[in-house]
């Protein structure tokens, strides 16, 4: 399991930590499952070369699911509470990544990200499970 500190809303690249964990397992060919144990954060595989991609994604999500929308009843933890849950529901809580020749089989520009949907930082738990030979 990885424990990842976030600074607030946005994408945190976790590829290096995931890659290191997987390499310690010694699996040459297999499948890695990455799972986040939270309902207001999610996972995604996204471009890791141009930070504009992640900023554009956040602007899109802000337009799609704005904080403080009067539609939402659940505001127990503030105006970003329910929007964080909706954003998480729209994204993924689990990823599958092939392992080939002992390495994550990600594309040239792909990175694994934890996406924090709350405005303030949190400590998030990411469970990793690798099966193979």
Q: Where are the chain's structural domains?
A: 2-132
pLDDT-based confidence at residue 67 (cuts at 50, 70, 90): very high
Q: What is the pLDDT of residue 120?
A: 97
Entry pTM: 0.96
Helix or strand or coil: residue 112?
A: strand
pLDDT-based confidence at residue 89 (cuts at 50, 70, 90): very high
CA–centroid distance for 82 within its chain: 18
Whole-angstrom distance, CA of residue 30 vs CA of residue 3: 23
- In DSSP terms, 11 is beta-bridged to 115
Domain 2-132's class?
A: mainly beta
Q: What is the pLDDT of residue 106?
A: 98
Whole-angstrom distance, CA of residue 58 vs CA of residue 73: 23
Whole-angstrom distance, CA of residue 23 vs CA of residue 104: 9
């Amino acid at each position: 399991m990885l424990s990842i500190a976030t600074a607030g809303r946005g994408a945190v690249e976790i590829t290096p930590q995931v890659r290191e964990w997987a390499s310690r397992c010694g699996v040459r060919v297999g499948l890695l499952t990455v799972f986040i144990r939270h309902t207001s954060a999610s996972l995604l595989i996204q471009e890791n070369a141009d930070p504009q991609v992640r900023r554009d994604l956040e602007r899109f999500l802000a337009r799609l699911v704005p904080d403080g929308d009067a539609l939402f009843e659940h505001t127990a933890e503030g105006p970003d509470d329910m929007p964080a849950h909706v954003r998480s529901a729209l994204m993924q809580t689990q990823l599958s990544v092939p392992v080939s020749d002992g390495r994550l089989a990600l594309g040239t520009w792909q990175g694994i990200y934890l996406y924090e949907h709350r405005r303030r930082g949190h400590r998030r738990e990411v469970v990793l499970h690798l099966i193979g030979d």
